Amino acid sequence: MPSSAAAGPLRILHRSYAGDGAKPRPPYFSKLLALVSLLRAADALPVRPELVFLNDGPMPADRLRVMEAHGEVRQVRRGGSDARSYREMLADEAARPGADEDLVWLAEDDYLYAADGFLRLVQAAAALPQADYLMLYGSLALDPAAGAGRRVAVLREGGADHPAAQTADVDGATWFRIASTTSTFGLRRRALREDLRLLRLGALTGGAWDNSSCRMVQGFTPFDRGTLRADLLPLGREPLARWPRSVARGLVRALALPLSRRPARLRRTFMGSDPELAFHMEAGDVPPHPVSTRTSKVDWATVAAESAAWGRERGIPVG
- For the chain, the structural domain boundaries read 4-193+270-313, 197-264
Residue 6 pLDDT exceeds 70: no
Residue 202 pLDDT exceeds 90: yes
pLDDT digit string, tens, across residues 50-108: 999 999 999 999 999 999 999 999 999 988 899 999 999 999 999 999 999 999 999 99
What does the pLDDT read at residue 172?
87
pLDDT mean over 240-269: 93
Does residue 242 or residue 38 have the better pLDDT?
38
Helices and strands (DSSP H and E) totals, the chain:
9, 11
Does residue 149 or residue 202 have the better pLDDT?
202
Mean pLDDT of the chain: 89
Residue 2 pLDDT exceeds 60: no
At 250, is the pLDDT very low, low, confident or very high (cuts 50, 70, 90)? very high
Give the CATH fold of the 4-193+270-313 domain.
Answer: Spore Coat Polysaccharide Biosynthesis Protein SpsA; Chain A (3.90.550)
What does the pLDDT read at residue 148?
58
pLDDT mean over 254-273: 93
Neighbours of 50 (CB within 10 A): 18
Q: Produce one character per residue of 58-74: b if its CB has 16 or more CB atoms within 10 Å, e if not.
A: ebeeebbebbeebbebb
CA atoms within 13 A on the CB side of 67: 25
Distance of CA 144 to the CA centre of its chain: 22
Please state the pTM of the whole predicted model.
0.91
